[in-house]
Structure 1
Amino acid sequence: MRERFVYFMHKGERIVGTLHIPDRMPAPAVIFCHGFDGNRIGDHRFWVYLGRELCKRGFIVLRFDFRGCGESDGSSESVTISGEMSDLKAAISWLQDKVEILEDRIGVVGHSLGGVVAILTAAEDERIKAVCTISSPSSTKIHENAAKNILKVNIEEFMEKGYLDLPSGGRVWRNFMVDALKHDILGSVAKISPRPILIVHGTEDEIVPVSHAEELFDRAGEPKEKLLVQGANHSFNQWDKYWLVVDHVARWLEENLR
């Protein structure tokens, strides 16, 4: 196995990533989409360990930083769901051009907002042959609801100010919220079939309630699968639960991308 730093240009900005290449090529490929204000490493190296495990099992893996995140170019103020969808499509094109993929078999795994990006993009782009979401919301309204109910923010004041500072140290900008409300996640998840989808969620998710996973699953067409992990939180930072998810996602991809 090999692991190397890569980058590609998109709309005049550099997108940075890490590419995992298995010993046996050609191989099916998996692209990771990190969550809001995240990066290609992830909390507690979420994406690093998952990428290495999938590579061990014979998958090409690309994990990259969306523009405005991690080491990629761009500012956090410019981050939108539409922009991240464009980044994902560019990543697919770059991967197809640079790496020998087995029969164009490409899957996408997304965490939280990254799962939303995966769903919305797959609904438009049939190059994506399989989708896995982890801790992902079924509605972009969750950002507005969280601002109101969890952070006790007056939405009118937020829209006038132009941004919202998060406890994590990140910042949500007005243009992100305006763009987010344009997207229909449930309508998009219904368009993925007959391509397979796996929906993973923790029952104790403190940010995106598990009811969102139920809504996604109900609207998705076949073939579909749901994994609810008892006691797991939003970021799956409990090791036993994290590795349960890693193994399940890996086996599901082996069944659906081989």
Structure 2
Amino acid sequence: MEKRVSLKNNLGKRIVGILNVPKGKPPFSAVVICHGLKGYKEQRHLKTLACELEKNKILALRFDFTNEVGQSAGNIENLSFSQELKDLKSVIDYLTRQKIVDHKRIGLAGHSLGGQIILTYAPSDGRVKALADLAGVTFRDGTTNTEKTIREQMPLAKETGYFFVYSGSKRKKFKIKLSYLDDLLKYNTPARIKKIKIPTLIIHGSNDKSVPLRHSRVAYRLLKGIKKLVILKNMPHTWRNPKDYKRVNPVVVDWFKKYL
């Protein structure tokens, strides 16, 4: 069963999400699903994962970060990595207030920038018991598509204070303040990954043109606890067809069934 939910973040701004609630007797284990840059909760790869978790008696909550392109408050122009981390905490706080959720069995899944968000966040919150990093960003070395795009715009961006990113799913360009990069670069995600002790699954496609596979290989090496790296042959950065869903979703579901 899908249910739209609305909650407030630490600033009192609205976060909009969708709960996929399993049939059966609660409480259920739960997974929070985090989208990437220019992403949103209705994207097909996120929705199909949520539905697959629901079928396997795991509650799923996918939501739009504030200051993004989805339905939550704010404009992507004011995007902030720091605020996305705080939004995630607000979402977990919300889940722990729900009687249908087993508060001791909460996991996080994140795609692309959402992967970096969960890897950066997880060591700070003992309520999180397992992770699934899906083609996530691990470090900033200029090799991701977004970084290349920003670098090309940098001379003009330094004058205007903005850069632009294109969303294929929304079919438009979005303007983001250059201060977003200063905020993002404050976070040493590799150092945070070294502090992760909970079971962590990493999935990456061999044909990812947006985030190089090396990001996931580095993250896997840095992890100290139970871990698994799955490299899917010919898989792109964002999977959009049923054949690809069937390769990704069962692996993620099995991970959370085992460790939540």
Q: TM > 0.5 between the two?
A: yes
Aligned residue identity for 1:100: I
The offset of 1:219, in angstroms, is: 0.5
Instruction: Please say if residues 146 and 165 of structure 2, whose CA atoms lie closer than 8 Å, have aligned partners that are also in contact.
Output: no
Contact 1:17–1:40 (Cα < 8 Å) also in 2:
yes
The one-character-per-residue Cα deviations of 1:29-57 (angstroms, maximum 9, x if unpaired) are 00000000111112xx1111111110010
Runs of 4+ deviating beyond 3 Å: 140-143, 145-152
Q: How far apart in 2 are the matches of 1:192 and 1:105?
A: 16
Counterpart pick for 1:248 among 244, 247, 251 = 251
**Residue of structure 1 in register with 2:170 after alignment:** none
Aligned residue in 1 for 2:183: 179
Structure 2: stretches of 5+ with no match in the other structure: 168-172
CA shift at 1:161, angstroms?
1.7
Residue 174 of structure 2 is matched in structure 1 by 170
One-letter amino acid of the counterpart of residue 135, structure 1: A
Identity fraction in percent: 30
Q: CA RMSD in A?
A: 1.7
Q: CA deviation at 1:183?
A: 0.7
Please tell me the residue identity of whatever aligns with 2:122.
A
Does the CA contact (< 8 Å) of 2:30 and 2:107 recur in 1? yes
User: Are the equivalent residues in 2 in contact too, given 1:205–1:233 (CA < 8 A)?
Assistant: yes
Given the two structures, how large is their TM-score scaled by the length of structure 2? Answer: 0.91
Amino acid corresponding to residue 46 of structure 2 in structure 1: W
Q: Secondary structure at the match of 1:105?
A: strand
Aligned to 2:67: 68
Name the counterpart of 1:105: 105
Could you list the per-position Cα deviations for residues 197-223 of structure 1 after superposition, in whole angstroms to 9, with x for gaps in the alignment? 001101111011101110000111120
Say whether 1:202 aligns with 2:195: no
Deviations 1:164-208 (A, max 9, x none): 122332333212111111111111111111x10001101111011
Aligned length: 252
**Using a 3 Å threshold, how does the CA distance of structure 1 residues 249 and 20 change in structure 2: closer, same or farther?**
same
Spell out the pairing of 1:73-152 with structure 2 (5 A cutoff): 73-142=73-142, 146=145, 149-150=148-149
Question: Do the aligned partners of 2:145 and 2:211 also contact (CA within 8 Å) in 1?
Answer: no
- 2: CA distance, partners of 1:94 / 1:153: 40
Match of 1:27 in 2: 28
Q: Which amino acid aligns with 2:34?
A: C
SS of alignment partner, residue 219 of structure 2? helix
User: In the alignment, residue 33 of structure 1 is paired with which amino acid?
Assistant: C
Q: 2-side partners of 1:151 and 1:120: how far apart? A: 22
Distance in 1 of aligned mates of 2:149 and 2:117: 23
8 Å CA contact 2:142–2:148 kept in 1: the answer is no
User: Which whole-Å CA distance do the structure 1 matches of 2:77 and 2:149 have between them?
Assistant: 22
State the alpha-carbon separation in 2 of the partners of residues 13 and 141 from structure 1.
33
Q: Secondary structure at the match of 1:170?
A: strand
Contact between 1:148 and 1:154, CA under 8 Å: does it hold in 2? no
Q: 1:100: how far off?
A: 2.7
